[in-house]
Structure 1
Amino acid sequence: MSDNGFKEKAKGAGNKIKGEAKDQWGSATNDSSKKADGKLDKVKGEFQDSVGDSKNKNHKNKD
């Protein structure tokens, strides 16, 4: 059974939120390592979101 990209989009949203929190914490504490971790999580989230979109498009094309 296909998840229609929902799982990837949900993971992506979680990683973007987590990344934003790390980025903000790094800014507040002047921790460049934490900021970098946050930016990486946000990029990972964007990628997962794109994968979810792609799965959704592929699923729609099969219908």
Structure 2
Amino acid sequence: MSTEDSAPFNWFKSSYSGNEGGECLEVATTPDAVHVRDSKEPTRPQLVFAQKSWATFVAFATRP
């Protein structure tokens, strides 16, 4: 995916992310997929996950 293709996405970072310039990921959702990119290098290639795969990952990552 090129940078131009990702321009219309609404990218967001976690509310836990500060503005200190640390390592952070940005996420954009579409009806079919979840796109993930490095916030410091937004023009580099992105990871793209199916909605169901992303939901499974988040459920696993947030369990106590």
- Give TM-score, length-normalised by structure 1: 0.27
Compare the two structures and name the one with the higher helix fraction: 1
Query: Which of the pair has the greater relative contact order for Cα pairs under 8 Å at 6+ separation?
Result: 1
- Give TM-score, length-normalised by structure 2: 0.27
Compare the two structures and name the one with the higher strand fraction: 2
